[in-house]
């Protein structure tokens, strides 16, 4: 695996490391992405770019030309295609900044993104991960289409029990929090590796936040991995949720339920009385209930009292009721959007 490291590494350590992996994105997209980072108002960063496709010759030539002009760029070349997850871990291993910012090779960071996120983490030392609202652009996309996420850590973690509400390429996080908790991208998962990372962080008690501004533009196109490997991504998300819930049960020394039943809810209440970490159990039980309950009349009748017992909010109870009535698996984010708009 070849590494091209600029003379910038001989200088002082940067405050921030920007991490991006490229595969075979159209050259014009790659130019827009790289330029959007190099033209940031915040300048004290290194830009680690991992090329995961040895045959991507035009992209490699472009990146080398950028590297010759800007000494902040560090290029890593994988000898073979190893996938996004391993490529990100390879970049993390050499990152020198106190903060790590993610970037994708087909998206655009608005000029003040890095400055505002660095300032936020500096003034909020209790927060480990921060991201922002994102604006969609690309094929047949309304220019005003914005994805808004929960703002505070508690609501973000609550929503993560149902779906991934954190915009991965728009995040910035503290490198020390990963190192101190021995966390990295889980290489078991080729897709949805970010979702697994957030749940690892939640288990460690790390906190999240959202800057309620659009600082990032997210490209939508049928050629993207998100679209072309959607089935594999959904399968990984299901495994991630199941594995997370098993870990929650293991940590709290309770038996993993194959199916959520009234007896298990009673067991949960008993465990709560004994003083186990019931907050994370409540949240885990929410999505276990949400995704695993069989759709029977008896279960439907029990939904509201069970929801009250488990501490679900009115909005979350509506999510589950509608999933029964409409036979639709609403995500926490989609339902928030449906109700609030």
CA distance 331 to 319: 8
- The larger pLDDT score, comparing residue 292 to residue 27, is at 27
Q: Which of 224, 152, 236, 235 is nearest to 196 (CA)?
A: 236
CB 183 within 8 A of CB 126: no
Q: Once rounded to an integer, what is the mean pLDDT over residues 155-166?
A: 82
Percent of the chain having pLDDT more than 90?
Answer: 42
Question: Measured between alpha carbons, how far is residue 167 from residues 148, 195, 235 in Å?
Answer: 10, 10, 19
Confidence of residue 6 (pLDDT cuts 50, 70, 90): very low
| Least confident piece of the model among 87-91, 133-137, 295-299 | 295-299
* Residue 315 pLDDT: 72
Q: Is 288's pLDDT higher than 70? A: no
Got the DSSP string for 192-245? Answer: -HHHHHHHHHHHTT--EEEEEEEEEEEEE-TTSHHHHTHHHHHHHHHHHHHHHH
| Least confident piece of the model among 8-22, 221-235, 300-314 | 221-235
Domains of the chain: 2-231 (3.90.550.10), 253-340 (no CATH)
Phi, psi of 206 (to 5 degrees): -75, 155
Q: Once rounded to an integer, what is the mean pLDDT over residues 164-193?
A: 89
Q: Identify the residue whose tokens are 């870990």.
A: 247
| Least confident piece of the model among 70-74, 141-145, 267-271 | 267-271
CA distance 216 to 112: 10
Q: Is 310's pLDDT higher than 70? A: no
CB 214 within 8 A of CB 133: yes
Count of Cβ atoms closer than 10 Å to residue 250 Cβ = 11
CB 192 within 8 A of CB 240: yes
| Chain segment 59-115, per-residue pLDDT in tens | 999 999 999 999 999 999 999 999 999 999 999 999 999 999 999 999 999 999 999
Q: Once rounded to an integer, what is the mean pLDDT over residues 313-320?
A: 72
| Chain segment 186-227, per-residue pLDDT in tens | 888 877 889 999 998 988 889 999 999 999 999 887 555 555
Phi, psi of 222 (to 5 degrees): -65, -15
How many residues are present in the chain?
Answer: 341
This prediction has a pTM of 0.78
Q: Is 335's pLDDT higher than 50? A: no
* Residue 275 pLDDT: 56
| Least confident piece of the model among 161-165, 233-237, 297-301, 336-340 | 336-340
Token digits of residue 6:
């600029």
């Amino acid at each position: 695996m070849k590494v091209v490291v600029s003379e910038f590494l001989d200088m002082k350590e940067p405050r921030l490391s920007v991490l991006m992996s490229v595969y075979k994105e159209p050259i014009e997209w790659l130019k827009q992405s790289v330029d959007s980072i190099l033209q940031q108002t915040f300048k004290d960063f290194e830009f680690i770019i991992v090329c995961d496709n040895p045959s991507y010759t035009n992209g490699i030539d472009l990146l080398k030309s950028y590297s010759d002009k800007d000494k902040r760029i560090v290029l890593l070349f994988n000898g073979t295609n190893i996938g996004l997850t391993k490529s990100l871990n390879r970049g993390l291993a050499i990152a020198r900044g106190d903060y790590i910012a993610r970037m994708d090779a087909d998206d655009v960071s608005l000029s003040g993104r890095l400055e505002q996120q660095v300032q936020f983490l500096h003034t909020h030392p209790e927060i480990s991960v921060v991201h922002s609202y994102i604006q969609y652009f690309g094929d047949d996309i309304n220019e005003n289409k914005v994805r808004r996420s929960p703002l505070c850590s508690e609501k973000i973690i609550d929503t993560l029990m149902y779906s991934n509400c954190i915009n991965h390429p728009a995040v910035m996080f503290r490198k020390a929090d990963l190192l101190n908790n021995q966390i990295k991208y889980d290489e078991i998962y080729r897709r949805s590796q970010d979702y697994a990372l957030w749940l690892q962080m939640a288990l460690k008690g790390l906190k999240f936040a959202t800057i309620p501004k659009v600082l990032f533009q997210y490209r939508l196109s049928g050629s993207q991995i998100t679209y072309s490997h959607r089935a594999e991504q959904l399968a990984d998300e299901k495994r991630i949720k199941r594995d997370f819930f098993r870990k929650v049960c293991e940590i709290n020394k309770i038996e993993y339920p194959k199916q959520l039943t009234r007896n298990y809810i009673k067991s949960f209440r008993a465990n709560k009385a004994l003083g186990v970490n019931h907050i994370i159990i409540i949240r885990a039980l929410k999505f276990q209930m949400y995704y695993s309950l069989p759709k029977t009349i008896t279960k439907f009748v029990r939904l509201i009292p069970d929801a009250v017992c488990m501490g679900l909010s009115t909005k979350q109870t509506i999510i589950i009721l509608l999933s029964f009535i409409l036979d639709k698996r609403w995500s926490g984010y989609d339902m928030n959007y449906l109700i609030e708009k």
